[in-house]
Amino acid sequence: MSVDLRSLDEVAGALLGRAVTLYPGGQDVCALGFRIAAAPGGVRLAASARCDWDGYLQTFDHGQPVDLELDIDAAVVALHPDNLP
C-alpha cells in the first residue's frame, strides 16, 4: 500500500504538535511501505522507517535521521483498485 507522503507529515506533525517534513528512507528514496492487517472496524496500517527531515523547520534539535514507527487503526469507507475515486 502506498500513501501520499504529505499525509504522513500531517499525521506525524499532529502527534508531535509541530510542523514536520519527513523523508522516509532518506531524501533520495522518500517512500514508505505500509503493512496492512484487519482491525476492529477497519484496517491497521503499520510502518517503520529511518527518516531524514527538513532542517529548515527545525523539527528536531539534531542533524541525525530519526526512526519512525507508525501503527494506525483506520476505518474503511471504500476500497477501489487502481486510481478510481
Q: Is residue 22 part of a domain?
A: yes
Q: Is residue 85 part of a domain?
A: no
**Rounded to whole angstroms, how far apart are CA atoms 60 and 51?**
12
Q: Is residue 61 part of a domain?
A: yes
Q: Is residue 81 part of a domain?
A: no
Q: Is residue 44 part of a domain?
A: yes
Domain count, the chain: 1
Per-residue pLDDT band at 34 (split at 50, 70, 90) = confident
pLDDT for 18 beyond 60? yes
**For residue 47, what is the enclosing H or E element?**
strand 42-53
Q: Is residue 52 part of a domain?
A: yes
Quick one: pLDDT at residue 79? 60
DSSP state of 64: S
pLDDT for 85 beyond 60? no
